[in-house]
Structure 1
Amino acid sequence: MTDQLTEEADVMTNDVRITTKIALVVRADLQDWQKLNLTAFLASGVAASAPDAIGRDYADADGTRYTPMFGEPVMVYAADPAKLTRTLNRALSRDVVATVFTMELFGTPHDAANRAAVAAHPRDSLDLAGLAVRADRKTVDKIVDGLRLHP
């Protein structure tokens, strides 16, 4: 326990500079349940592809352990379908691999069906419901430039 407290104290006293950022872009005209559902799936894609984005475990004052979360900023933006496509193209032109969620995925029953639904369409024909990117902060800012934060 002493090692954990020392480690936590070190983190609190160090000037930690976070160089990366996560952006989730959600189609603005979706129903609330759809927005929440795809946001969770998009975040899971970032977490799976970037284990270094995950912070350390949490614990309350009683010592109860909680799972870690992202250790960097996560911003959620709203966009229409055209801006979603533009955002995806901006990410890809900067060699940033995106997590995508298409409208079809709201009706698929499992992960294999999700992948098949995306694979059935060329990139320019994807009916995007949302996407996520993680990269250097400045790169993410360029990718989402012109989008507004989700209300």
Structure 2
Amino acid sequence: MLLLLYNGQNAVVQALKHFIPAYLQPTDDKGIHDITSKYLEELSDSNVTVRRGFALALGVFPSDFLAKAWKDVFSKLSSSCAIEENLENQDAEARVNAAKGLVSVCKLLTASRKLPPLYSGEDSMPLFLVIKNVVMRSLFETLDDYCVDN
């Protein structure tokens, strides 16, 4: 059953990779923000299967979607890598998928040549410094968690 769920999630995520650019092309920044915000909200859903899927889905978003909200995406995926306070919401696979989504977002944003330099609004920190200081710390903490789980 778990393998079927895993394969199903991956199939949906791969389909989404092609669906978004073909059918979800908002005409303004508000449309992009609305779509991205909806996916970020789902990372807090009480249903672990929903959290697992949406974390992976963010990793295949088009780079122009991610560029508009990259700091929020990094923040939410990074916090989704951490162990939840509520025991009922704890799920190792949701954290694994959040880490996978986080890595995919980093790859997409750093590989895109058409994007302007990305900076965080509040402290003008470039994308690469946020990856180094925030994302990598979150991924290393996730590794510590996995050492405990096994």
TM-score by length of 2: 0.25
Query: Which protein, 1 or 2, shows the higher relative CO under an 8 Å CA cutoff with sep ≥ 6?
Result: 1
Bigger helix fraction: 2
Larger radius of gyration: 1
